[in-house]
Structure 1
Amino acid sequence: MDLSFSAEDLAFQREVRSFIAENYPADIKARFDAGLEPRKEDFVRWQKILFEKGWVAPAWPKEYGGTGWTATQKYIFQEELGAANTPGIIPFGLSMVGPVIYTFATEEQKKRFLPGILSSDVWWCQGYSEPGSGSDLASLKTKAVRQGDKYIVNGSKTWTTMAQWADWIFCLVRTDSSVKQQEGISFLLFDMKSPGVTVRPIITMDGGHEVNECFFDNVEVPVENLIGQEGMGWTYAKFLLGHERSGIAAVARSKRGIAKLKQIANTEQSDGSPLIEDPDYRRKLAELEIDLTALEYTELRTLARESQGKGPGPESSILKIKGTEIQQAITELAVEAAGYYAFAYNRRAMDGANEPVVGPAATAFAAPSYFNMRKTSIYGGSNEIQKNIIAKMVLGL
């Protein structure tokens, strides 16, 4: 694969870099550079800035608001966002349900839902995982019974990321229990303000409120909010998960994470010598960089495939496995570098209160980041399930 940039690509890189420098709000940058708890308004404000520029959905077809960029330009764009430490694009609308809608929905549904997703006026969450289902998504029990021109939905979802901020949810529901599990699932969209919807927080190991439980008690959903055909939800779900898994790799942001590790490792310790002089730590850091470079090449192949009009294939499972392993390894090395400073962190400081941060600034958030990143090998389909997909789809086993 030829990774050399053309003159046009280099000009595009300068354009992106200049745009970020001029338009990335200083207050959001300061908050993210400090590692403070992200806020909904920070994500929305940044996404609206990208929307006004026409850059918020690079992967979308141009006719629906995409950029029409080449695979190389998409790569450059993500690299520059990662290098600038901008808020990540919240995937539920733009990277997940958006592609399902413009691929499988009716024209009326596209006109109704896509503009709000693009402009970030409507915040989405994902209703997939359920209590007791684990990685066996097809065993979901949330039920939707059709009554005339509406469905009555009963059941629950768990690990629903950012549902406390969501306006709408895209939800897998069981509409037929008499057929094979995968054939009885449908894909519904509904308003989170509908009567009968209850959201309860799940506080994670790092003390944060990122995920939730959602309960549905006789929630009425118009039939017109069904995407595609009844019973085809499993097909749409697999399509969506391919897009989700590709995005989970987060190569550009892992590069920034490794750069921060190097910064920490080059800082003098209490004995006066930097950690980078420890051959064992230096070896771990070098191995991590090599793994990330290999992952980067795989991601570029995936981008090239998408630029040819092909959706993410089984390579998205490879990206998901290795990408999340690298993200976790970065936090592990950060804790190792922080040493005893990683034991003490202040939740109120993370939320932006005027509390002192214990330990060197570069290591203050090592512990909460470590705890939070334990989830990455599970969401989007656990890594064990991804290995099964690779064995079947790539190795033919």
Structure 2
Amino acid sequence: MTPSPSSAPTISARTAGVRGSAIRDLLTLTARPDVISLAGGLPAADLLPRERIARAAAEALTDPGAVQYGETAGLARLREVVAAHETGRGTGGARGPVRAADVVVTSGSQQALDLLARAVLDPGDAVVIEDPGYVGALQVFQAAGARVVPVGLDEHGMRVDELADRLAAGLRPRLVHTVSSFHNPRGVTLAAERRRALAELAERHGFLVVEDDPYGLLSFDGPPPEPVAAHGERVVRLGSASKVLAPALRVGWLVGPPEIAAAVELLRQGADLCGSTLTQAIAADLLADHDWFAGHLDTLRRAGAARAAAFTGAVAELLPGATWSRPTGGMFCWLELPAGTDTTAALPRALEAGVGFVPGSAFAVGGALPSAARCCFASHPPEVLREAARRLATVLAVPSGRGRST
């Protein structure tokens, strides 16, 4: 029997179970010129190195291969540069230098996470994710049909002790996902001793750690944190050029054991065949220009530190009674208002007042987070951030008494 024209097409059960991203939905509303958006995790447009990218693009275009199809695993030159970059971060650990063959270049690190999930997960597999969690990871694991298990966070990152208790009680995850440095959304960083403990648990119990690290180079004080991958071999690292060069390049990468890299490369053949050879050549040029890149990172770090200080200082003054994370890098500040505050209900009023944020409920994994909000401080200069905090205070007023950082 031929279906009637009004019959709705069916979608898979996996797709039907995927939660939408409140952040993506918010971007349309916060794109209004009268709204100061603290919602999207957007790097500062004024700090994107457009002139240096233009020079690299012009140089790349002298090679006809820059506008041709490329290797599925990525441009060989970029894989070599990323391998050297990751080796310098300590990723190889006891295994020694990272090889280009251990690197797969992807269209942003989100694609790397999706391909990795498809490569190693079967429906029903347990996956541990931090709570509150990165929305993009939650979507990927739901689409893979995984059973998501939340583990809490505190000011020192993932509660690895809580994970250890779950493992002792019989939990056997296939993956443990962590945004280890300058967490999205919570803003915290996994402590060094917890990084070692997590890698040891992975070795002991046979799961894979997915270290999602797009923000690690954006540390405000001192060198970037040492990767979890420095402490064990059952770690796959995801990296990105989006936060340190430009999102529009759509360059990310995965670094992991050879069998994982091979499986991800195979799946990418069916996903998009290959990425942009042109933007990969641009990224390779910029990342390999060590003096320029070091100076560029210094600029990003100084600006980020000043913006974080301006925003948190304004929050302390204008939102007494609130608590907030004290950013030491990255892009995000996590606000917690007193019990009874409903940030989801307050959002429409905030948009009317000309400021946007993401309610904490968008990141909730195991339970509701009605009184929390994520704010991105990276996108605006200090004076705009102070005005954003003033507007927030008009809709998130809390009882008197000075707030505190966490």
TM-score class normalised by the smaller sequence = under 0.3
The answer to which structure, 1 or 2, has the higher relative contact order (CA under 8 A, 6+ apart) is: 2
